[in-house]
Amino acid sequence: MSRRIELVTGDITTHEVDAVVNAANSSLLGGGGVDGAIHRRGGPAIGAECRALRASRYGRGLPTGEAVATTAGRLPARWVIHTVGPVWSEREDRTPLLRACYTNSLRVAAELGAVSVAFPLISAGVYRWPKRDAVVQALDAIRTAPAGVDEVRLVLFDDASRAIADEVYAEVFG
């Protein structure tokens, strides 16, 4: 497979890619963290499309693990792909849902014709997924997803997450 996976540090809203993935919440109405940053910087067109999607298809919310695309508004990208990560649970293994976020986002991206996609570290913020395992699942799900998108970036927001991701990357690909 020819997919390239690159680790980068910084703010995902500055990335020039075909599709930026948003760690949304199921309401699709915006929130904090990366979701807030994407809506702020992308402008109101994203929220308007999200509200339309709620009205037409997701009245009960976007289910965890699923993905749906909207315009990217003023972001330097063509689309935002919204996906809802699982909240970390001590009692229940929600790993398949976390991995589904990556594979479903890549499927939606491929359907759109996107060649390059940037992901944040889904569920690793407010949803409390342990960082190291969030990176393990992200890299492995991206690596093993069906072909279709050639260039994937995993965007780490801070240096500490980047350091963890570098270690995991070496283990997974080294």
Q: Does 53 bind ligand ADP (CB under 6 A)?
A: no
Q: Does 58 bind ligand ADP (CB under 6 A)?
A: no
Decide whether 33 or 43 has the Cβ nearer to ligand ADP.
33
Which of 42, 65, 73, 125 contacts ligand ADP by CB under 6 A?
Answer: 125
Q: Which residues are catalytic?
A: 35
Name which of residues 89 to 118 contact ligand ADP (CB under 6 A).
none
Backbone angles phi, psi at 7, to 5 degrees: -95, 135
* Dist CA 11 CA 9 (whole Å): 7
Burial of residue 34, with CB atoms counted within 10 A of its CB: 0-12 exposed, 13-18 middle, 19 or more buried: buried
Distances (CA, A) of 94 to 4, 47, 90, 164: 26, 28, 9, 21
Size of the site for ligand ADP (CB under 6 A): 20
User: Across the strands, what pairs with 5?
Assistant: 152
Q: Could you give the angle at the alpha carbon of 27 between the alpha carbons of 154 and 29, nearest 5°?
A: 80
Binding string, 6-25, against ligand ADP, x = CB under 6 A?
-----xxx---------x--
List the structure tokens of 23.
């760690």
Q: Does 35 bind ligand ADP (CB under 6 A)?
A: yes
Binding string, 67-86, against ligand ADP, x = CB under 6 A?
------------------x-
Please give the distance of CA 54 from its chain centroid, rounded to a whole number. 19
| Binding residues vs ligand ADP (CB under 6 A) | 11-13, 23, 33-35, 37, 85, 120-127, 155, 157, 161
